[in-house]
Amino acid sequence: MKFGVVENRARLAILVFVLALLLLIGLSLALYSQVRGEISTSPAILFIFSYQIIALIFGLGLMFFIVRWLLRPYRRMVEAAQGSPIHGSSARSESEFVVETFQALVQQLQAKERELAQLHALERSRADRSERLSERLIANIPSGLVTVDSSGLVTSANGHALKILGVAEASLYSAPLNSFATEMASLGIEHHSFFRMSPRLVEMISECLNTSKSFSREEVDISLPDGRVRHLGLSLTPISDVSHNVEGALCLLTDITEVLELRERMKLQENLANLGEMAAGLAHEFKNSLATIHGYIQLLEAQGSASSNERRTALDATLNEVRLLTRLVTDFLNFARPQQLTLAQVDLRSLIEACADEVRPLLSSCEIELRIEGSFTELAVDESLLRRVFVNLLRNAAEAIDPLSSEKLITVTGSTDIGPGSRYAHIHVRDTGTGISTEDLNSIFIPFFTTKSRGYGIGLAIVQKILVAHSGDVSVEKSDNQGTVFHCRLPLSPPSQAVESQ
């Protein structure tokens, strides 16, 4: 409907209504002139004339409201047109101004629509390019990517996954393997069949789909059709909807066979280097003791006429060196012998206090203060072996403190992991000694490495071995001229290879 139609209809209605009123007024006047003398004598004529007057007034009011109702949309359009950027002029009527205004607005809307269509086409083109880029990125990532739906069907896999798993394309799909080098392969295969070369991987995917459990940095082995065994790094994550219902699983695979082989070679080289240093230290200790024994024997030969006291002194010194060698060999055998743990529930604070009582004479003679603080828990550990750990650490801490130091303090602090990821109990042994030099930090746990004038460097090696046997570890957290901090970790759950005490 054109904007001028409303105005024209209103004008026509007003004209018709005015003509009708004029006709009614004329008829009333004619009637009045004819019956003017009879009005006072005829009630009927008086009633008719009064009715016409009332109808005339009512008609005028009704005409006013009808005109307002007819012109309401028009007034709204005029108000909207007056708020537009187009301004009217005296040469145009109000209706022409409204029409021109809305025509201009329609043209602007059409221009905006064309611009919006261009932007939509551009956005669709960008989305298509982004989708293709995402597909190429997924297909060409250096890791294998496999998706599994909630029913256990492998829905897609990139070329790296097919290559890592050594899947025979003829048995699973008709397309050759090389065709998926740059795109995702759309599959529909049971995961039991697709991952048949790794039963452990099948179990993990089933568990992920059934319980929403995720796996991170897992290692699994697969047996390829040619008989080779490959080692894979695996991350498995469930795909859930907003209601936390499992819709599938996303599996990332990385062939870490070469990495593990390199790690094993480096570990072997490190072990050989440590063995060489250990052998050098052991040979050095034997050499020193044998030289001492040889010297005392020569002294005994030269003192043929010496007194019995002098000969007894030389013999005692020789026997002391023999005992030193015996203890050295015994400690070495204890270090080399596999540790079989006998576990029992032990309160760590009581254990630390017992170890402190054992080294108390040494601490008293050196005027060293010992503090035990923090929180300690109960763990299933081998008490006798763990006593050796903390006795060695406390003794080393006491020997590291300079006798002339103004602050002689050893602090043993306990703490325990809290929360859902709790794994370890922690024990820190701090001293105010002179610290360990940077070049010696990497060697302090090697057997028979020592910087002391006395001792043969087996204590920290035994400490490390016992804690590792408990599935824990020990490390130097800090070492400088203000002292050293040894950090010991013990698992809250006992190691599986241990023997529980009855």
Residue type, 162: L
- Tell whether 313 is covered by a domain: yes
Q: Are 327 and 472 in a shared domain? A: no
Query: 461 φ, ψ to 5°?
Result: -65, -40
The last residue of a domain, from among 319, 336, 353: 336
Q: Are 236 and 152 in a shared domain? A: yes
- Tell whether 369 is covered by a domain: yes
Percent helix / strand / coil, the chain, rounded to 5: 55, 20, 25
CATH code of the domain covering residue 222: 3.30.450.20
Q: Are 203 and 318 in a shared domain? A: no
- Tell whether 330 is covered by a domain: yes
pLDDT for position 485: 94
CATH code of the domain covering residue 377: 3.30.565.10
The last residue of a domain, from among 291, 320, 336: 336
Q: How many domains does the chain have?
A: 4
Classify the C-alpha dihedral 423-429-430-434 as positive or negative: negative
Count of CB atoms situated within 10 Å of the CB of 369: 11
Q: Are 225 and 361 in a shared domain? A: no
Q: Where are the beta strands (DSSP E) in 297-408?
A: 342-347, 369-374, 378-381
Secondary structure of 375-397 as H, E, C letters: CCCEEEECHHHHHHHHHHHHHHH
* Residue 214 to residue 212: CA distance in whole angstroms: 6
Burial of 248 (0-12, 13-18, 19+ CB in 10 A): buried
pLDDT for position 414: 94
Q: Are 153 and 196 in a shared domain? A: yes
- Please give the chain's pLDDT, 502 residues, in tens: 444 555 566 666 666 766 776 676 666 666 666 655 554 545 666 666 666 667 667 766 777 777 677 667 767 766 666 666 655 554 556 666 667 777 777 888 888 888 898 888 888 888 888 777 766 666 667 778 888 888 888 888 887 788 887 765 434 444 444 444 445 566 778 888 888 888 888 888 888 888 888 888 888 888 877 777 888 888 898 988 888 888 889 888 888 888 887 887 787 677 666 666 666 666 666 766 677 777 777 776 666 655 677 777 777 777 777 777 777 777 666 666 666 778 889 999 999 999 999 999 999 998 999 999 999 999 999 898 899 899 989 998 998 898 888 899 999 999 998 877 778 999 999 999 988 888 888 778 877 677 665 556 778 888 888 898 888 999 998 888 889 999 999 998 876 555 454 3
pLDDT for position 27: 66
Element (H, E) at 157: strand 153-157
Q: Are 435 and 464 in a shared domain? A: yes
Q: Specify the length of the chain in residues.
A: 502
Q: Are 246 and 321 in a shared domain? A: no
Q: Are 246 and 175 in a shared domain? A: yes
* Residue 252 to residue 157: CA distance in whole angstroms: 10
- Tell whether 250 is covered by a domain: yes
Q: Are 414 and 430 in a shared domain? A: yes
pLDDT for position 489: 93
Alpha-helical runs (H) found in 380-485? 383-400, 459-469
CATH code of the domain covering residue 299: 1.10.287
- Tell whether 89 is covered by a domain: no
Q: Are 347 and 461 in a shared domain? A: yes
The long-range contacts involving 3-8, CB below 8 angstroms and separated by at least 24 positions, are 3/74, 3/77, 3/95, 3/98, 3/99, 3/102, 4/95, 4/96, 4/99, 6/70, 6/71, 6/73, 6/74, 7/71, 7/74, 7/95
- Tell whether 449 is covered by a domain: yes
Q: Which residues pair with 149 in a beta bridge?
A: 248
Query: Crossing angle for the helix pair 459-469 and 383-400, nearest 10 degrees?
Result: 140
Q: What is the pTM of this model?
A: 0.46
The last residue of a domain, from among 59, 82, 105: 82
pLDDT for position 169: 45
Q: Are 149 and 74 in a shared domain? A: no
Q: Are 314 and 371 in a shared domain? A: no
Contacts of 21 (CB under 8 A, 6+ apart): 56, 59, 60, 63
The whole domain housing 73 covers 3-82
- Tell whether 101 is covered by a domain: no
- Tell whether 122 is covered by a domain: no
